Amino acid sequence: MTTQTGAIVADDENSLKAGERGPALLEDSVLLEKIQHFDHERIPERIVHARGFGAHGYFELTDSLKGISRAGIFNEVGVQTPVFVRFSTVAGNKGSTDLARDVRGFAVKFYTKEGNWDLVGNNIPVFFIQDAIKFPDLIHSAKPEPDREFPQAQTAHDTFWDFASLMPESTHMLMWTMSDRAIPRSFRMMEGFGVHTYRFVNEKGAATFVKFHWRPKLGMQSVVWDEALKISGADPDFHRRDLWNSINEGSFPEWELGLQLFDEDFANKFEFDVLDATKLIPEEVLPLRIVGRLVLDRNVDNFFAETEQAAFCVRNVVPGIDFTNDPLLQGRIFSYQDTQLIRLGGPNFQQIPINAPQCPVMHLQRDGHMQMAVPTGRVNYSPSSLQADSPRQDPQRGLTSFAEPLDGNKLRIRAESFADHFSQARQFFYSQTEPEQNHIISAFIFELSKVETKAVRERMVGQLANVDPEIAERVAKGLGLQGKIQPVPTTVEARTDLDPSPSLSILAKAKETLEGRKVGCLLADGTDANLIKALKTGAEKRNANFAVIAPKVGGALMSNGKLVEGDFQLAGGSSVLFDAVFVALSEDGVAMLLKEAAAVAWVHDAFSHCKVIGATEAARPLLDAAGVISDEGVLLGANAEEFLSRAAEGRVWQREPKVRTIY
């Protein structure tokens, strides 16, 4: 052990004192250095996306885009480009829960041979606002209210909904954030989007519009709201633990990169403005072209040095990738770089290893706070003639912008093509399956029920009436609002002729699989050992994790007299942590667990969250005590194969009307 200057430390247990019981001495350089560094360990957390988790991996191109983009990363099939990916929630602080209802950040840093490219996106393809000038207002409204500093990591309060009800452009995004997309089961099971329309530019300077989509190999999955609340209590680190463990176990998360590529002619003919960040292009209108895959295969060595110091900047692009005139994107180009200057201490944050390019870096920028490099030579300016090897511009290979013709007066104005705020909101809602629609309605009711100001609740329902009267009526009924709903005046009425887009639904394209999922088995003394072996073997065969929950973490004695250790103790292994559950109890085990409220709650939660439940015949009294009603997802007396096959089909959504009120 040494000090920061390399001096070997002889004693790290005791400070230097004047005598055995005397005062500590100010000359103790080891003590001073250690305490002083500790006092300065924290840096300002991100204003948004403060709670995040990252991992390393690579991007591999599978379909060349030669002739469309001159970016090297999109030209040579098979080349693997190193990446660092950070997932995050938006509104909460660093100490908030993973399972907040929120947008999830999906930021990818590509360390390309031509420099770093940061694709800083979300798990939702649209956003709340159209112009960056409103971003501070949006975030101020969503954060804890300034006079009381609560609630944390949630939008269920007056200021957010006051803002949203006065900003009709946010309505489409509200549909997404009230949907199951905002409470994903795992980072590994959510989509990602670049949100904005960007440009690819080829060797001849010709441009193609592009939208970026990440598609998870495991398929999408979300939790239900009551489950999210309970997971937040049972394991607030649920998402980060899931990602860390999956990589450690060698089950590397993977996504496909899909692109929507289109030209000016398509953009001009499309029904909505492609520069409006509150709109999307349905895949049924413009299918994805799959061009590569993203694999995360290495956890960080140190969270602070890598994940916390990772600085994603929207303006980090490479030759062949360019921006558009999206007014929200234009503001982000400035904002991300600006915020890193205060977070990371100055203009040299790109030299921090996690941010440093993995290609040659040559420039004439000098000095500044925390300068790590040692530039040599006398030339730090351009043009110059005194030093032959000083950096020079390269017009042929360098970063150039698309030569877009521009004309017009300087105006503070919103384009008329941005004025339709409700049509795609309606399209999104009616693209969902019935259970998903019910969840959206329930989410609006929950959030607005937390709003103390009646006028805000009424105004928000009035905005929903512009999307569709039936949606507004259902929410109003759940809130107990009396009287006729008054739609908020609008200039553009919602279109009813847009076709549903099944690609916008989670359940419509759900995969029947247990891969990457977790099966929980509740057992106690006397449980059939052969059943546990069959369940574990079957789950692992399907690439699912199998976990044992026992009254004591030390385990339980099986029917053959052998001890099976528990992965979780009953109170610490709630059923909300698993995708499907099996109650593998003997008569003696049931008699013991019927006295445990935690065991009854374990089964009750699994049933109310619409999970597939397998159980031995002997477990029936515990199921009865938990209020379990027989249906196709309750497999009493089933063997391991029957249970696992049904669990792979997903949750039992037809059960939902039996366990909660549907408005």
Structure tokens at 372: 């790590």
Active site residues: 49, 122
Q: If you average pLDDT over residues 587-597, what whole number do you get?
A: 96
The whole-model pTM stands at 0.96
Per-residue pLDDT tens for 226-252? 999 999 999 999 999 999 999 999 999
2, 9 contact by CB (below 8 A): yes
Per-residue pLDDT tens for 57-89? 999 999 999 999 999 999 999 999 999 999 999
Name the phi and psi angles at 547, rounded to 5. Answer: -130, 140
Structure tokens at 616: 């031995």
- Contacts with 28 (C-beta within 8 Å, 6 or more apart), sequence order: 15, 16
pLDDT of residue 376: 92
pLDDT of residue 660: 95
**What's the DSSP call for residue 502?**
G
Residues 294/300/306/308 CA torsion (nearest 10 deg): 90
118, 84 contact by CB (below 8 A): no
**Gap between the Cα atoms of 17 and 27, Å rounded:** 10
329, 315 contact by CB (below 8 A): no
pLDDT of residue 22: 93
Q: If you average pLDDT over residues 356-371, what whole number do you get?
A: 93
Distances (CA, A) of 156 to 104, 153, 160, 429, 445: 17, 9, 7, 21, 10
Per-residue pLDDT tens for 137-183? 999 999 999 999 999 999 999 999 999 999 999 999 999 999 999 99
**Gap between the Cα atoms of 502 and 484, Å rounded:** 33
Helix axes 640-648, 529-541, angle to 10 degrees: 30
pLDDT of residue 145: 97
Buried b (16+ CB within 10 A) or exposed e, 63-102: eebeebbbbbbbbeeebebebbbbbbbbbbeeebbbbbbb
* Residues 464-473: contacts with CB under 8 Å, at least 24 apart: 464/171, 466/168, 466/171, 466/421, 466/422, 466/490, 466/493, 466/494, 467/171, 467/175, 467/422, 467/425, 467/426, 467/429, 467/494, 468/426, 468/429, 468/430, 468/494, 471/429, 471/441
- Contacts with 145 (C-beta within 8 Å, 6 or more apart), sequence order: 151, 157, 158, 159
**What's the DSSP call for residue 188?**
G
Distances (CA, A) of 294 to 55, 254, 491, 511, 592: 12, 5, 43, 19, 48
**Residue 639 pLDDT level (bands cut at 50, 70, 90):** very high
Residue with tokens 């004693």: 11
pLDDT of residue 487: 95
Residue 519, classed as helix, strand or coil, is strand
Q: How many beta carbons lie within 10 A of that of residue 654, not counting itself?
A: 13
The average confidence (pLDDT) of the chain is: 96
- Contacts with 189 (C-beta within 8 Å, 6 or more apart), sequence order: 216, 218, 219, 220, 221, 222, 516
Per-residue pLDDT tens for 472-509? 999 999 999 999 999 999 999 999 999 999 999 999 99
**Residue 580 pLDDT level (bands cut at 50, 70, 90):** very high
Per-residue pLDDT tens for 403-455? 999 888 988 999 999 999 999 999 999 999 999 999 999 999 999 999 999 99
pLDDT of residue 125: 98
Q: Given CA atoms 242, 648, 259, 177 in this order, what sign does their dihedral have? A: negative
**Alpha carbon 51 to chain centroid distance?**
10
- Contacts with 290 (C-beta within 8 Å, 6 or more apart), sequence order: 62, 63, 215, 256, 257, 258
Q: If you average pLDDT over residues 13-25, what whole number do you get?
A: 94
**Gap between the Cα atoms of 582 and 579, Å rounded:** 11
pLDDT of residue 293: 98
**Gap between the Cα atoms of 328 and 130, Å rounded:** 6
Q: Over pLDDT 90: what percentage of the chain?
A: 98
pLDDT of residue 305: 98
Q: If you average pLDDT over residues 248-261, what whole number do you get?
A: 98
List the domains of the chain with CATH numbers.
1-41 (4.10.91.20), 52-147+183-351 (2.40.180.10), 421-508 (1.20.1370.20), 512-659 (3.40.50.880)
164, 139 contact by CB (below 8 A): no
Distances (CA, A) of 660 to 372, 442, 609, 663: 59, 10, 10, 10
